[in-house]
């Protein structure tokens, strides 16, 4: 997850996820088996030969750079011989993934790279990552149980963990508390259903004033589809990513619900029909995003904007897709033990040496560790209702698809959805066409399983 802005009292601040700040990862580094490096005692020595690592996880000068820089500097104070060079941000697009694989073949990848959740299985398939499980098994102080299971599962294959998440979370509901209060609309609560969302959106929509009840593009492919479909009983892809339930009654009802927000109830602006972000401008009552969403609002909003749980669907269930980003170690690294040492500190619990600890101190992100989140919840940067973020793991599911055919699946949905937004096809026709085009792609996944 990630960041927000400072405020006090009940005014909006930033996003959150995870846990209390603990003491650090521990002075002794426990080296991983088979990675080729020194012992834990050797790694902890301050007078050992210098080691320089490289990473593409962040670009100096970015909005969140101060948190990255402060954590890295604190690590270097503990291990003066260990230097990390930040090469600049890595593209999260699937086009950029091809470049990563090419660079891996050339042996030119950095020691630690950025991987959005949907990319990790592609990297694992191409054998460019080092399993972190051997390190985790020996470094008990790191405590993988301090992370949401759904986040860890995203980065795993066949019982091996390949990356550590630094942010992660499900889609949640954000709302403009000032608009709700102004129009006498009760704010979202834990019993809210999607019917309640529609009712509130109707009461908050004022066409003559350019005010909308909700702003969201609806089902748009990719990892977020479970958020839109599963509360109604529909499914984009199953766990094996070889089957879809996009044409069942639940999926039809779900997509129709979102189409009706655009065209029947007219409480949600059609994508492409507006410029900028009307929610940030205070012209929208509700919007959708992960706990990290506020990082784009820093210094831009002047209203109280709490976070609320994902509403309950007609099935009586609250289900939302979860996504985030993680940092794996590459096979090109010549210093894998040292890369783990740096990663274990950077993604650890110490408030100074860890990125998540720096999120607590700077407000430039939300920690994914449960323990560090406890400190974040008490900070001046925490958004209203921040205490609901960590428990949201209970209704989170992996934001599929994460298999290598994801780009093609997204393309199918995008092309057919464009026709719906132009009202050229019905929802049923959209789903029938999508299912027909999807199946040959899903057939390619037979035998593929992210957990086997």
For the chain, the domains span 40-168+323-382, 172-322+397-443
Sign of the alpha-carbon torsion through 255, 260, 263, 268: negative
pTM: 0.84
Residue 183 confidence (pLDDT) above 60: yes
Which of the four pLDDT bands, split at 50, 70 and 90, describes residue 92?
low
What is the per-residue burial (b if ≥16 Cβ within 10 Å, else e) of 261-275? Answer: bbeeebbbbeeeeee
Torsions phi, psi for 431 (to 5 deg): -70, -40
Torsions phi, psi for 359 (to 5 deg): -60, -40
Torsions phi, psi for 327 (to 5 deg): -125, 105
Residue 23 confidence (pLDDT) above 60: no
Which of the four pLDDT bands, split at 50, 70 and 90, describes residue 91?
low
Mean pLDDT of 102-122: 90
Provide the pLDDT for residue 447: 76
Report the 3 state secondary structure along the chain: CCCCCCCCCCCCCECCCCECCECCCCCCCCCCCCCCCCCHHHHHCCCCCCEEEEECCCCCCCCCHHHHHHHHHHHHHHCCCEEEEECCCCCCCHHHHHHHHHHHHCCCCCCECCEEHHHHHHHHHCCCECCCHHHHHHCHHHCHHHCCHHHHHHCEECCEECCEEEEEEECEEEECHHHHHHCCCCCCCCCCEHHHHHHHHHHHCEHHHCEEEEECCCCCCHHHHHHHHHHHCCECCCCCCCCCECCCHHHHHHHHHHHHHHHCCCCCCCCCCCCCCCCCCCCEEEEEECCCHHHHHCCCCCCCCCEECCCECCCCCCCEEEEEEEECEECCCCCHHHHHHHHHHHCCCECCCCHHHHHHHHCCCCCCCHHHHHHHHHCCCECCCHHHCHHHHHHEEECCCCCCCHHHHHHHHHHHHHHHHCCCCCHHHHHHHHHHHHHHHHHCCCCCCCCC
Q: How far is C-alpha 336 from the geometric centre of its chain's CA atoms?
A: 26
Please check whether the two domains, 40-168+323-382 and 172-322+397-443, share a CATH topology: yes
Provide the pLDDT for residue 122: 86
Provide the pLDDT for residue 335: 97
- Average pLDDT taken over every residue of the chain: 87
Mean pLDDT of 207-227: 95
Provide the pLDDT for residue 134: 96
Residue 29 confidence (pLDDT) above 70: no
Which CATH number is 40-168+323-382 given? 3.40.190.10
Which of the four pLDDT bands, split at 50, 70 and 90, describes residue 275?
confident
For 172-322+397-443, give the CATH class: alpha beta
Residue 7 confidence (pLDDT) above 80: no
Mean pLDDT of 225-250: 95
d(CA 170, CA 117): 12
Provide the pLDDT for residue 226: 96
Beta bridge partners of 327: 164
Residue 258 confidence (pLDDT) above 90: yes
| The residue count for the chain | 452
d(CA 79, CA 172): 39
Top-confidence range, 101-105, 158-162, 248-252: 248-252
Which of the four pLDDT bands, split at 50, 70 and 90, describes residue 276?
confident
Tens of pLDDT, residues 307-366 = 999 999 999 999 999 999 999 999 999 999 999 999 999 999 999 999 999 999 998 888
Tens of pLDDT, residues 379-433 = 988 888 999 999 999 999 999 998 888 889 999 999 999 999 999 999 999 999 9
Name the maximum alpha-carbon separation found in the chain. Answer: 70
């Amino acid at each position: 997850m990630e960041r927000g802005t400072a405020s006090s009292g009940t005014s909006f601040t930033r996003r959150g996820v995870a846990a209390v700040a603990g003491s650090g990862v521990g002075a002794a580094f426990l080296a991983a088996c088979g990675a080729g490096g020194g012992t834990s005692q050797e790694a902890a020595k301050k007078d050992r030969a210098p080691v320089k690592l490289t990473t593409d996880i962040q670009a100096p000068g970015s909005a969140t750079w101060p948190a990255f820089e402060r954590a890295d500097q604190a690590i270097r104070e503990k291990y003066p011989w260990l230097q990390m060079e930040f090469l600049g941000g890595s593209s999260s697009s699937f086009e950029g993934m091809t470049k990563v694989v090419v660079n891996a073949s050339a042996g030119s990848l950095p020691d630690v790279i950025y991987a959005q959740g949907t990319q990790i299985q592609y990297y694992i398939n191409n054998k460019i990552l080092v399993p972190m499980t051997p390190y985790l098994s020996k470094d008990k102080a790191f405590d993988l149980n301090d992370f949401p299971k759904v986040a860890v599962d995203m980065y795993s294959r066949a019982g091996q963990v390949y990356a550590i998440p630094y942010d992660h979370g499900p889609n949640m509901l954000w709302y403009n508390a000032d608009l709700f209060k102004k129009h006498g609309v009760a704010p979202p609560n834990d019993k809210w259903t999607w019917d309640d969302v529609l009712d509130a959106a109707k009461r908050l929509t004022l066409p003559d004033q350019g005010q909308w009840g909700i702003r969201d593009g609806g089902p748009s492919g990719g990892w977020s589809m479970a958020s839109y479909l599963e509360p109604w009983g529909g499914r984009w892809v199953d766990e094996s990513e070889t089957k879809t339930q996009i044409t069942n009654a639940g999926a039809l009802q779900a997509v129709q619900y979102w189409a009706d927000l655009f065209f029947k109830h007219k409480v949600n602006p059609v994508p492409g029909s507006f410029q900028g972000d009307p929610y940030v401008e205070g012209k929208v009552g509700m919007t959708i995003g992960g706990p990290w969403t506020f990082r784009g609002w820093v210094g831009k909003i002047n209203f109280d904007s709490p976070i609320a749980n994902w509403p309950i669907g007609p099935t009586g269930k609250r289900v939302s897709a979860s996504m985030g980003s993680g940092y794996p170690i590459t096979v090109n690294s010549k210093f894998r033990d040292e890369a783990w040492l740096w990663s274990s500190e950077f993604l650890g619990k110490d408030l100074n040496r860890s990125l998540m600890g720096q999120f607590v101190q700077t407000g430039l992100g939300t920690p994914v560790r449960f323990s560090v989140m406890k400190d974040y919840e008490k900070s001046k940067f925490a958004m209203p209702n921040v205490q609901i973020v960590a428990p949201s793991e209970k209704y989170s599911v992996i934001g599929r698809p994460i298999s290598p055919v994801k780009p093609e699946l997204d393309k199918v949905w995008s092309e057919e959805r464009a026709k719906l937004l132009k009202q050229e096809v019905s929802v049923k026709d959209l789903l029938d066409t999508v299912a027909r085009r999807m199946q040959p792609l899903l057939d390619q996944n037979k035998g593929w399983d992210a957990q086997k």
